[in-house]
Structure 1
Amino acid sequence: MDAFFTKTLSWKRIGFLSLAITLFSICSFGQNTQRPNIIFIFSDDHAYQGIGAYGNKIVKTPNIDRIAREGALLTNNLVTNSICGPSRATLLTGKYSHLNGYKRNDNTRFDTSQTLLSETLRKNGYQTAWIGKMHLNSLPAGFDYWNVLPGQGNYYNPDFIGQPNDTTRHTGYVSDLITKFSTEWLAKRDDSKPFFLIVGHKATHREWLPDLQDLGAYDNVTFLLPSNFYDDYKGRAAAKDQDMTINKTMRLKEDLKVDVDYEKDWTYRRLNPEQKKVFKGYYDKISKEYHDRKLTGKALIEWKYQRYLRDYFSVANSLDRNIGKLLDYLDKSGLAKNTVVIYASDQGFYLGEHGWFDKRFIYEESLKTPFVIRYPGVIKPGSKVSDLILNIDWAPTVLNIAGVKTPADMQGKSFLPLLKSDRVAQVPWRKEAYYHYYEFPEPHHVYPHFGLRTSRYKLAYFYGGADSWELFDLQKDPTEVSNIYGTKGTERITADLKAKLKVLMTEYKDDEALKILATAKN
């Protein structure tokens, strides 16, 4: 009797144990299949100061603002090399330009044999896709699906390169088409796997061709000149010798569409008759205004500035509207609750600050780029992160969200701990951010330079001909017009920043910069 009872009890225990193991397996499998989907919306040349969530009261960016409102806004998200292709290479590798091999926007072919964010995610069970602009002189690697613009792409009736390498021209506006292809892929994907999707937008890249429905969207707005619009570049040799001013560099025909030849210009030959009629009808009026007013001097410069911003923000309208379409799709499909949505630009952009357009310089408007992220249940809505985040951190953070260990050769680190709403202690984080820009002399004659930024100070060294140091106190001089390098009273902070700069160069293995630093003028 006792033996029978003991045997029966043992079998019951085995049964309970088996049930527990089964339930554990089911729960574990359930947790695995519930790993979050991740969408990284990546625009081109979209300035943070041109976004509502970053304080702009004039422009309309309700959908980018929505992501920030429902998630977190990074107020000091910095790039390591402020130029398009290199920033994309950094997103994919988590490494500085000198290590990932993509320093400039030239004919360099991006090395896809190195460790990539996309391939790492794919090896760990994610379905991966890149749709839209890539701009790396190579086809996507590590992606299950791709449909990308060749090179810079076109705003109207653009070509797309799909698999296995077929180029097809599509009728329509580029932002709409990128969203269309993205939602189509989402609808047809393998829904047994979590997904990682990069949505690469062409907007807001030069030459700023708005969608037909956005032509003239800001014509009733007069934009205030930045306080340093008429910067004289005193004490800043590199800034004085650049070629990126609205005054001299911005072209009336190509950039501002004055007196466009719609038959000969390759950009406008893409327009079909219906598109051309509307587009030409609007810009013929702009051309007439230009000729009728006969502006010269500052009046002409400021007219060009107004036209630049009106076109730029009109292009941004289509970008934001299409982000809204994608968010709506996630809501309607039920994907929103388990999908992380990130919006970022490849770098910042000058909207008249220092009299400029374009990027490249270590100055704030170029160095800083927008980054907003929504992660339901993890990030508290309306959060703000002021820590110094670098774009080498983007890949490790995405991997951390996916539950994947960061590969050893990635130089960044995950800032997910900074985003979590349940964090109870201060998260150790960097106090200095390192930067290195290379492209010279074309196209804008910006001297190569390296430097670092802290919460208060910025130190930079320009080489290759400019050979000069710049130091800014961002607390006292947020518009960066007063170079205080070498002035009395700055000796201690200068020495401290130079020492930290050398430490960062060593940490990030920038041997070229270390050699230049060793011979830099004092």
Structure 2
Amino acid sequence: MRPNIIFIMSDDHAAQAISAYGHGLNHTPNLDRLAEEGVRHDATYVTNSICTPSRATILTGTHNHVNCVTTLDTHIDNLWPNVAKHLKAGGYATAIFGKWHLGEGPAHEPTGFDEWSVVPGQGDYWDPAFIGPGGRERIPGYATDIITDKSVDFIERHADPSGERPFFLMCHHKAPHRNWQYHPRYRDIHAPGTIPLPETFRDDYANRAAAAAAAKMRVKSDMLYEDLALVQPEAGADRAGPQMVDGWPPRKVPDLAPGESITVICSETGETFTFDDSAAFAEFKYQRYMSRYLRTVQAIDDGVGRMLDTLEAKGIAENTVVIYTSDQGFFLGEHGWFDKRFMYEESYRMPFLCRYPAGIASGTTSRDIAQNVDFAPTFLDWAGLPVPSYMQGRSMRPVLEGKTPDDWDQLAYHRYWMHNDVIHEAWAHYGVRDPRYKLIYWYNEALGQLGARENGAPPEWELFDCEADPMELRNVAHDPAYAQVFEEMLGKLDARMAAIGDVPCHDSRAVLAERAKAA
């Protein structure tokens, strides 16, 4: 009997904020059920750590240079094949509800789905608009609950214990994307001041490529008033802080220079807070950020619980694959950052939990490297359908079932194209990670990509020993002790780029010749 497949994906949900991963930040009992009753995969990596490109990769099973969705400003061509089209042709009932973020209108809207109802753009947390085949409607309520409602309704209408017509459901939550807005039922959890500060929160970015210090995603200086539920003053930059983007009203809560003080007002309670110390003010921002983020996560966990309970009530839990992931990782104050985009671990690693009682042993874990480009082939494998030749990933099914093939490629590839974007100024790079080492090339060019901007930054290499330096604080690319490792990882990078057809911006022979000359 072919299984039903439910793919639940949130937006910007870091593995650190799922209690099954053991970081101790919060409690997500329903997500933990997936791990306890299935497999927790600990080495799932994104091919491009940003929303739109990641979604395109998941849907098509291809890297972004192939599907042409490279940045936030590029959209999917819905005439192309995708995994939903293959599943539908193979006899599955298909649906997607929630966040799409791959473009709107006839050329970009969802195709391959019997039913679809998606939020335009980022969508709203409250009383969100939805777009579907019948047009646009605004639905009262909280987005996470509404998306769950739509998903539960689909399950109830398509539940068939006989398995005569299985279904494929993509439940895509907007949450916990910035700006974080939680449901009032979670107001009393994760109070500011109770959340542990990451060890690397005060990172000074020494011993790293220049891109780390250049990024505008620091908790202490780049968060908006609305991010932190603070009242934005009606004033200019001297009092209210700089605009996030020229011409946009939202402003960043300023950092404090020596001798300065600031009073901020909570937009929820009217309480005032005064600071004259930059470090204390930065920690205050972190606590408010994390409080809102973790509260926003909680409705997702509740929604997952409702979906699991519906499967049980309908008698189809045993033969239903349930996957939970996020479109990429996210920084929760590590290195002083929020957001994603980088190949550094917190941004690069995706959570991945999977329960399938008929095929996966409960309470298992895996560290075999996989990527979001592997998701579509995995769905097709479970559906008993052929994986088309255009797909570039490989089915994770044997890995998740504890039968990893001997020839499984323990290597992940990443390429971020949106160089020096207008909001976060994250620089373009690509690289590979194996079980121990990570090599990154900051090529720092816009290459004509939509939303990318030139800035003249020179290229740089980074190499991290993720076993000896799991927090990635020391770039050893130029350490003579790692010269052989650098050469081996460079060879792996070249081989992977050649295999997937991505065009490098570096010349390995020239790189090695220059290194030999400098040795």
Instruction: Give the TM interval when normalised to the shorter protein.
Output: 0.7 to 0.9
2:437 is matched with which residue: 448, 451, 457?
457
2:272 to 278, 286, 289: 289
> Which of 21, 33, 42 does residue 9 from structure 2 map onto?
42
- 1:132 equivalent to 2:119? Answer no
Structure 1 residues 190 and 213: alpha-carbon distance in aligned structure 2, compared to 1, 3 A threshold: closer
Matches within 5 A, 1:210-359: 210-219=182-191, 222-236=194-208, 237-251=210-224, 253-259=225-231, 283-284=266-267, 287-290=270-273, 293-359=274-340
1:396 aligns with 2:377: yes
Conservation of the 8 A alpha-carbon contact between 2:329 and 2:348: yes
* CA shift in 2, pair 1:43/1:490, >3 Å: same
Give the Å deviation of 1:419: 2.1
Code of the aligned partner of 2:355: R
C-alpha deviations, 1:388-434, integer Å up to 9, x for none?
A: 1111101101110111111101000001112225x4x7542112211
Contact 1:115 1:409 in 2 (8 A): no
RMSD: 2.1
Bigger helix share: 1
Structure-1 separation of matches of 2:287 and 2:276:
13
Q: 2:365 aligns with which of 375, 378, 384?
A: 384
Q: 1:514 offset after TM fit, Å?
A: 5.0
Aligned-pair CA distance for 1:287: 4.8
Q: Which residue of 1 aligns with 2:408?
A: 429
Summarize the Cα distance change of 1:298–1:490 in structure 2 as closer, same or farther, 3 Å threshold.
same
- Look up the SS of the partner of 1:196 in the other structure: strand
SS at match of 2:124: coil
SS in 2 for 1:471: strand
Find the aligned partners of 2:222 and 2:87 in 1 and give their Cα distance. Answer: 42
Summarize the Cα distance change of 1:399–1:235 in structure 2 as closer, same or farther, 3 Å threshold. same
The equivalent of 2:27 in structure 1 is 60
Q: Which residue of 1 aligns with 2:253?
A: none
Call closer, same or farther: CA 1:136–1:289 in 2, change over 3 Å: same
**Kept after mapping to 1: 8 A contact 2:7/2:169:** yes
Q: CA deviation at 1:120?
A: 0.5
**Whole-angstrom CA distance in 2 between matches of 1:287 and 1:294:** 16
Choose which of 87, 94, 116 in structure 1 pairs with 2:54.
Answer: 87
- Unaligned residue ranges in structure 2 (runs of 5+): 235-247, 251-264, 445-456
AA at the equivalent of 1:382: G
Cα deviation 1:475-519 (Å, max 9, x = unaligned): 1111011111111211111111111111111001002x2567677
Q: CA deviation at 1:220?
A: 6.3
Contact between 2:84 and 2:113, CA under 8 Å: does it hold in 1?
yes
Shift of 1:295: 4.6
Which of 495, 507, 515 aligns to 1:503? It is 495
Task: Call closer, same or farther: CA 1:203–1:466 in 2, change over 3 Å.
Answer: farther
Aligned letter for 2:415?
H
Q: Distance in 2 between matches of 1:405 and 1:390?
A: 19
Aligned length: 465
TM-score (norm 1): 0.85
- Contact 1:238/1:466, CA 8 A, preserved across alignment: no
Q: In the TM superposition, what is the alpha-carbon distance from 1:211 to its structure 2 partner?
A: 0.7
**How far 1:466 moved relative to its partner?**
4.2
